[in-house]
Amino acid sequence: MRPGKERRAALAASLAFVGALLAPHGAAVAEEPGRYELTVDGIGLDGAPAGDDWSVVVQNVDTGETSYLDDEAGTGTVEVPAGDYLVTSDMGWIGTESAMDLTVQTRTLPELAADTAITFDARRAEEIDLSVFDRAAEQTTLTLVTVLTRGDGYTSTTFWNTFEGADSTFRTQHTGPSLGEGGLRSVAAASWLNPDTGTEYHAAHERTGTFFTGLDEHERRRDLARVDLGARALAGGARGRLHFLYELVHDGHFAERELPGTTTAYLTPGRWGYGLDVTEAGGDSLSFEGALERYAAGERRRVEVGAPVFGPGLGARDGLSREGDEIAVGVGLFSDDQGNRGAAGGWESASVVVRRDGEVYATSDRPLNRTWIEVPPEEAEYELTTTVRRDAAALVSTEVTASFTFASGHAGTSTELPMSVVRFTPRLGEGGTVPAGRRTVVPVTVQGTAAAEGGPSALSVEVSHDRGDTWRSVQVRDGAVAVDNPAAGGTVSFRAHLTDRGGNTTELTVVDAYRTV
């Protein structure tokens, strides 16, 4: 296998062409009626023809049809139909774990309707130079992203990144007319870490319509938002991997830290999300994902992540929907007390069962996170049930079950389907505990369809002191239930039944929601 082919395999892991079709290519193509030859030449930084570290992607702006070209001879030809195109060239990509000298160039070709030849000359690209006010901070990552919105509304995302940002050089250039604010979004991002203080810095700069031709930005303290993130853990000896990501960036800097603890991070203005992977000393693990939120220059904010009760929650991208004959479903089964979406990192057993008109239609032995289910077009009644039993090391929320009923038929466009969850959010002590023998007031809230409708038509809650062997009803009053806690060393489990105003139901069970001491 020649180096160029090896590189293609590596590049496929880093370049995501969402919804795109990869088409074959060659140096010579026989023309078909209404199709035209696009010849692309590449010139490296040394002025010689581009070598086997060169790759080109040709994307039809309207249809998303994509042709992929890498030719160590420094030239290649693809055949394409008439239309508007975005052509992207990169030279020097060698993998996220390596320092690199990368050149990325883009060119827009509106109304291509004849044989066309273009050249990418790396010597014309300009450097991406990002820095931060803390001179002791060390750069960890450097990232470039393009997001092309096709004529049918779908997006195609391409990214380049390295975890050796301090030793890497990225150069960029754009030529050709703008694709407009809704056509192309481009991001240049970087992260830094002060090894002495643990303070993190994350910068992202966005351009719409075109790609970057170089960028020189120095981040000043007054131009950034400050976030103090408190990361919780159930016991000493826990470790966490924390990351902040800009809304269009899907991979970035992860800092491993001792938990519990607080991390200070500075962010450029814009929409950011955060994530925390927690591994307890016993090996139990959970991953949390905060919703994208907008941060402003000079703002200061504190957020908390990773505190129980862990139970079903709906993140920004969760819920039920249908488009055509495909149902999309997402739910965070182990979301924390602040609503940060949570998922189990390890489990003893898991299941998903989909019933259609009372008959088992589909099953899985993996946890339900976010998935798509192909179904027949006819209207039907569905019941979706998922259960995750966590590893033996888990201290709380050792088993979670969620079951939802709804009706659905063929949908010509993306259509939201009903889904509701019930959240339990008591104030707990360290390790997810409460004093034994005392009464605890547990707030009960509803998320999803039933909440949007002004509340469910019916809601009931049950409590168990024997891990779900027996249950006792407790009354929901003023948005809470009162629980008489068992003796020390015990646990409290919850079960909720909800019916929304359309008759759709939810049943949730959280075994060992909290412990008594």
Same domain, 434 and 505: yes
**Does residue 299 lie in a domain region?**
yes
User: Does any domain span residue 19?
Assistant: no
| Number of independent structural domains in the chain | 3
325 lies in the same domain as 250: no
H helix or E strand, kind and range, residue 191: strand 184-193
Q: Same domain, yes or no, for 153 and 228? A: yes
Same domain, 465 and 505: yes
pLDDT band at 333 (very low <50, low <70, confident <90, very high): very high
Is 21 among the domain residues? no
Is 27 within a domain?
A: no
Average pLDDT over residues 410-438: 96
Region 292-302 average pLDDT: 97
Q: Are residues 295 and 374 in the same domain?
A: no
Residue 195 within a domain: yes
Task: Quickly state the pLDDT bin for 253 (edges 50, 70, 90).
Answer: confident
Distance in Å from the first CA to the final CA of the chain: 63
Count of alpha carbons within 13 Å of 188, Cβ hemisphere only? Answer: 22
pLDDT digits (tens, 9 = 90+) for 25-66: 333 444 455 899 999 999 999 999 998 889 999 999 999 899
DSSP string over 360-388: EEEEESS--SEEEEE--SS-EEEEEEEEE
- CATH number of the domain enclosing 120: 2.60.40.1110
Say if residue 182 is in the same domain as residue 319: no
Mean pLDDT of 444-472: 97
| C-alpha distances in Å from residue 84, one per residue of 99, 179, 310, 353 | 35, 9, 49, 45
Could you tell me if 161 and 115 lie in one domain?
A: no
**Over the stretch 476-501, which tens digit does the pLDDT of each residue have?**
999 999 999 999 999 999 999 999 99
Please check whether residues 280 and 385 belong to one and the same domain.
no
Q: Which pLDDT belongs to residue 6?
A: 34
**509 Cβ contact partners less than 8 Å away, ≥ 6 residues apart:** 399, 400, 401, 402, 468, 493, 494, 495, 496
Residue 198 falls inside a structural domain: yes
DSSP-assigned letter for residue 150: P
481 and 396 co-located in one domain: yes
Q: Which of 305, 331, 361 is the last residue of a domain?
A: 305
In a domain, 348, yes or no: yes
Whether residue 282 is found in the same domain as residue 355: no
Rounded Cα gap, residues 353 and 404, in angstroms:
11
Mean of per-residue pLDDT scores for the chain = 91
Q: Edge-to-edge, what's the strand order for the sheet holding 116-121?
A: 75-81, 35-43, 116-121
Task: Residue 93: give the domain boundaries.
Answer: 35-124
Do 360 and 345 fall into the same domain? yes
User: Is 22 a domain residue?
Assistant: no
Among residues 124, 139, 155, the one where a domain terminates is 124
Domain end, chosen from 69, 92, 124, is at: 124
Give the C-alpha separation, 369 to 366, whole Å: 9
DSSP readout, 212-258? -S-EEEEE-GGGSEEEEEEE--SSTTEEEEEEEEETT------EEEE
